[in-house]
Amino acid sequence: MQFRIHQDFKNLTQNLILVIDNFKDQGKDFVIGTRNIIKEFDVDGNKVIVKSFKIPNVLNKLIYRYFRKSKAKRSYEYAIKLQEKGIGTPQPYAWFENHDILGLTDSYYISEHLFADLTFRELVEIPDFPDHENILRQFTHFCFLLHEKGVEFTDHSPGNTLIKKVADGKYNFYLVDLNRMNFHDSMNFNLRMENLKRLTPKQEMVAVMSNEYAKYYNKSEAEIFESLWHKTSEFQRKFWRKRALKKKLKFKKA
C-alpha cells in the first residue's frame, strides 16, 4: 500500500489505514455507482467521504503505475492546489493506492464530508428553487474567479459543485470529483465558454449567466451569450445523440 496523509491529519494515520482496510465491509453507503463507490466513515469524530475508484483494466494498471498519477492521487493534489488558490473544495485528508505485480489495483481518495444545502443540479432541475437567480449569479461569479485563476475544471457538470448557504443571500461553492483538471497561466475566451457548456441545457439560465459574466469580463453580454449558447447547444446535441445510439445498440444486443 502507498498513501499520503495531509499534514493536519497525521495523527489519524492508523485510523485512516483501518478505513481503507475495512472499506468493503464497513462504512455507510453514499453513492454506489457502476464505476466508483463512495462511502461515509466516522474517523475519530470526523465525518469523511471515501471514494473508491474502479479497478483499472490491464493497460491502465500499467499506465497508472509508470506514466500517470492515479485518480485518487490527482484528486488529492488538485484539492491542495484549489485550496492554495482560495477555491472551495471539501478538505482533503489522504489518498491510498494498492498495487499488484502489474500495477495499480484499487485506489481511494478521502476528504471531509461537507454537508451542503444543494448542488448546481437543483438549480437546473427546480426552476422555482428559493433564491434561484441570486444563487445562479453568485455561482457565475465563482466560475469567473476559477477562470481568472487559470482553473479549467474539465468535469464541470451540474452535480460537481456543492453549494452551502453561509448567510442570508450569501452562498459558498465547493468543487468535488476533482480528478480531471487543467491549470493554466491564463484562459482565453473560447476556453472559458467551453468550460461552462456542460452546466445547463436551459437557455434562460445561460442568459442569466451571460449577463453576470459580462459584468467582470471584457466581452459584451451578447458575445458571451452567443458563444456559450452555441457551445451548450452543440454539447447537448452530441450528448443526446450518443445516448440514443447507446440505447439503440443495447436494444439490438438484447
Q: Residues, the chain, total?
A: 254
Class of domain 118-241: mainly alpha
Across the chain, mean pLDDT equals 93
pLDDT score of 252 more than 60: no
- List the domain boundaries for the chain: 2-112, 118-241
Identify whether the C-beta of residue 77 lies closer than 8 Å to the C-beta of residue 70.
no
pLDDT score of 250 more than 70: no
Instruction: Compute CA distances 106 → 17, 165, 254, whole Å.
Output: 14, 35, 32
Residue 207 amino acid letter: A
Q: What is the mean pLDDT of residues 155-166?
A: 95
Q: What is the CATH number of domain 2-112?
A: 3.30.200
> pTM of the entire structure?
0.91
pLDDT score of 254 more than 70: no
* Set of cell numbers at residue 139: 455561482
pLDDT score of 153 more than 70: yes
Question: pLDDT, tens digit, for every residue of 92-145?
Answer: 999 999 988 888 889 999 999 999 999 999 999 999 999 999 999 999 999 999
